[in-house]
Copies of this chain bind each other. A is one copy, B any other.
Amino acid sequence: MSVSVLPVRGTKDFLPQEMIVRDYVQNVILQTYQAHGFKHIQTPIMESIERLSKSEGGENLSLIFKILKRGEKLQLNQPNLTENDLVDSGLRYDLTMPLSRFFANNRMALPTPFKCIQIGQSFRAERPQKGRLREFYQCDVDILGDSSVASEIELIDTVTHTLLNLGFSGFTVRVNDRRLLTRQIEQAGFASADVPSVCMTFDKQDKIGAEGVRAELLEKGFKPDVVEAFMGSVMKDMSVLPNADDEVVQRLKQVIDVAQRLAGDKFQVVFDKSLVRGMGYYTGIVFEIHSAQYATALGGGGRYDNMIGQYCGEQVPAVGFSIGFERICDLLLEKGFTPPKVQKYTVLVYAPEDNLTDVFVKAAELRKQGYTVALCAKSKKLGKQLDVYAQEGYTSFISFADGTEKPLGKRD
Binding site for B on A (CB under 8 A): 1-8, 11-16, 19-20, 22-23, 30, 34-37, 39-48, 50-51, 54, 65-68, 70, 74, 76-77, 81-83, 86-87, 89, 91, 101-102, 104-106, 109-111, 115-116, 121, 125, 134-135, 146, 148-150, 153-154, 157, 161, 254, 258, 261-262, 310-313, 343, 347, 356-357, 360-361, 363-364, 367, 371-375, 377, 388, 392
Contacts and interface: CB of A to CB of B under 8 A. Distances in A.
Contacts of A19: 39-42
B16 A116 contact: yes
A42 B7 CA distance: 11
Given A68-B66, A81-B76, A367-B35, A150 B13 contact: no
B81 A48 contact: no
Contacts of A11: 44, 46
A389 to B, nearest CB: 8
A16 B357 CA distance: 42
Say whether chain A's binding surface is mostly helix, strand, loop, or mixed. mixed
A40 B18 CA distance: 9
Contact of A310 (B3, B153, B374, B392): B3
Contact of A388 (B76, B87, B91, B111): B111
A310 B6 contact: no
Contacts of A364: 157, 161, 262
Contact of A372 (B30, B35, B102): B35
A4 B67 contact: no
28 contacts: A3-B48, A3-B51, A4-B50, A4-B51, A7-B44, A8-B47, A8-B89, A11-B46, A13-B42, A13-B106, A14-B42, A15-B109, A36-B363, A36-B375, A37-B375, A39-B392, A44-B135, A45-B121, A68-B86, A70-B125, A77-B81, A148-B377, A149-B356, A153-B360, A154-B375, A157-B364, A161-B367, A258-B360
Nearest to A19: B40
Nearest to A116: B16
A83 B89 contact: no
Contacts of A125: 70
A359 B11 CA distance: 43
B41 A13 contact: yes
Contact of A135 (B46, B74, B161, B388): B46
A39 to B, nearest CB: 4
A410 to B, nearest CB: 16
Given A3-B311, A35-B343, A150-B377, A41 B66 contact: no
Given A20-B40, A148-B377, A357-B258, A105 B7 contact: yes
Contacts of A258: 356-357, 360
A376 to B, nearest CB: 9
Nearest to A67: B65
Contacts of A360: 153-154, 157, 258, 262
A54 B47 CA distance: 28
Nearest to A69: B66
A111 B70 CA distance: 41
